[in-house]
């Protein structure tokens, strides 16, 4: 099993550009989530999904969209990138919403200039 994979590993965007961060898992996990990590802030939940077709907002959802058309994939879309979205983004998954142990991907480091 590859676990949780994320692409790209690094990305530089200009202000106003849009892009999609990809996340996939091959463990048949129902629950998937996106976090961003900023210095001194820990990891903050952006959006999460408890199953295909179901998504909800986390702590810091503004400026991001998600969809969950399959169990395996959970892409994160930046609609119009801003410098405040410069961060490291982690995707995570767990068996279901009652399983607290989440498996994290390696992260995407995004810089918005």
Partner 1 sequence: DQQVKQNSPSLSVQEGRISILNCDYTNSMFDYFLWYKKYPAEGPTFLISISSIKDKNEDGRFTVFLNKSAKHLSLHIVPSQPGDSAVYFCAGGTSYGKLTFGQGTILTVHP
Q: What track of x and - describes contact with partner 1 for positions 47 through 86 (by CB under 8 A)? A: -x-x-----x-xx---------------------------
Written as six digits, the tokens of 113 are 């200039």
Write the interaction track for partner 1 spanning residues 18-47; mark x where CB under 8 A is met and - where it is not: -------------x-x-x----xxxxxx--
* Cβ-based nearer residue to partner 1, 17 or 37: 37
Residue closer to partner 1, measured from CB, 14 or 100? 100
Written as six digits, the tokens of 71 are: 């169990």
Tell me which of 20, 97, 111, 113 binds partner 1, using CB under 8 A.
97
Nearer to partner 1, 12 or 41 (CB): 41
């Amino acid at each position: 099993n590859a676990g949780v994979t994320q692409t790209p590993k690094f990305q530089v965007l200009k202000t106003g550009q849009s892009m999609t961060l990809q996340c996939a898992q091959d463990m048949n996990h129902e629950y998937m989530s996106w976090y961003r990590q900023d210095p001194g802030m820990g990891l903050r939940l952006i959006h999460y999904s408890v199953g295909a077709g179901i998504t909800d907002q986390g702590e810091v959802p503004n400026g991001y969209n998600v969809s969950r058309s399959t169990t395996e994939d959970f892409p994160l879309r930046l609609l119009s990138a801003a410098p405040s979205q410069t961060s490291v983004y982690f995707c995570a998954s767990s068996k279901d919403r009652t399983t607290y142990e989440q498996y994290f991907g390696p992260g995407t480091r995004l810089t918005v200039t």
